[in-house]
Chain A
């Protein structure tokens, strides 16, 4: 559920500023109410159902299911894997997040062309299927606490790289992730911004994605969430499942240790 604590101070300011004096309700309370109304009936359910079907369906050039896919807890295990990703995988010798790992499985088990799939635009063709799969896998860890491993040396290195990426000021506007997510209690327009250098709380930040975005009616995985952050930061385009996006995700995930996952969430 949404944190309401951040809204306190802003609420007072808005109450004074707002002309809506006929109702003793602030703009932020109004928006909390709006969000609450949307909780019941999250269209992410549609993608979740689709993802579950896709996992069990024989598909791709090899006409195989994904039921032997190893997401970190052994082949075929999908409960609880999401809250431990990204992690190091010995077979690929890489740190991978959920979407990167699904990409690997769709390639090795089903025979899809990994490079081709990674190049496909979000929301199209097999990318859309990958998002549905990620939505379902994430949902299978709903209510669990994030607990990413930092035991493998590569995982530690990726944390440090992710941290550097988080603070990297660049692009035409000099923005880093920290420009918006480095402090407590800030807003962009009316959106409250979680502080992501620490655990921002249950179901906030890393613990809310994949999420259904009501603004465009799209289902977004973490890869697309980060991709759009970089777009709005005026950065160049980060490759799908690239090391930069995985390292940044791992940094956010490790910081979120102990936060309860509500994914798939519903978002503005």
Chain B
């Protein structure tokens, strides 16, 4: 199973800035292994962000997002103590959900 995400969510001026690091290879599908064979693409495809259980953003990602992806966005009207939940799914069917409390 994939390693946990690191989610930082900080309130500022009535909003909350959310920064997420995800542990994922994000294999491009362009790279060849030592035997010269193409390594198949393996990447996060879908990301969902929720604020206190309500979806605030969804995203589609390709293989060109960098390894161990970083994501930053700002949730309007979110305050300290609120919950931010992030979920990702990759093209191999693996997924991960982590939650953080806004500070």
Which residues of A pack against B, CB within 8 Å?
A: 40-43, 45-46, 49-50, 212, 214, 217
Contacts and interface: CB of A to CB of B under 8 A. Distances in A.
A41 B3 contact: no
A84 to B, nearest CB: 28
B6 A45 contact: yes
Looking at A40, A46, A212, which has the most chain B CB atoms within 10 Å of its CB? A46
Contacts of B3: 46, 49-50
Interface residues on B, range: 10 to 19
Given A43-B23, A45-B21, A46-B6, 6 more contacts: A41-B72, A42-B21, A43-B67, A46-B3, A217-B66, A217-B68
Contacts of B25: 217
A137 B26 CA distance: 27
B4 A41 contact: no
A129 to B, nearest CB: 11
A43 B4 contact: no
Nearest to A216: B67
A213 to B, nearest CB: 10
Given A49-B4, A50-B3, A217-B66, A43 B21 contact: yes
Contact of B19 (A40, A49, A212): A40
Given A46-B21, A46-B23, A41 B70 contact: yes
A41 B67 contact: no
Decide if the interface of chain B is mainly helix, strand, loop or mixed. Answer: loop
B59 to A, nearest CB: 16
A217 B70 CA distance: 12
B38 to A, nearest CB: 18
Nearest to B4: A49
Nearest to A50: B3
Interface in B1-39: 3-6, 19, 21, 23, 25-26
Q: Is the interface of A mostly helix, strand, loop or mixed?
A: loop
Nearest to B71: A41
B7 to A, nearest CB: 10
Contacts of B72: 41
Contacts of B19: 40-41
Nearest to B68: A43
A42 B8 CA distance: 12
Contacts of B4: 46, 49
A127 to B, nearest CB: 16
A46 B24 CA distance: 10
Nearest to A217: B67
Interface string B23-61: 101100000000000000000000000000000000000
A46 B22 CA distance: 8
Nearest to B19: A41
Interface in B63-103: 66-68, 70, 72
A217 B72 CA distance: 19
A149 to B, nearest CB: 34
Contacts of B66: 214, 217
A233 B19 CA distance: 38
A49 B6 contact: yes
A40 B5 CA distance: 15
Contacts of B21: 41-43, 45-46
17 contacts: A41-B19, A42-B21, A43-B21, A43-B23, A43-B67, A43-B68, A43-B70, A46-B3, A46-B4, A46-B5, A46-B23, A49-B3, A49-B4, A214-B66, A217-B26, A217-B67, A217-B68
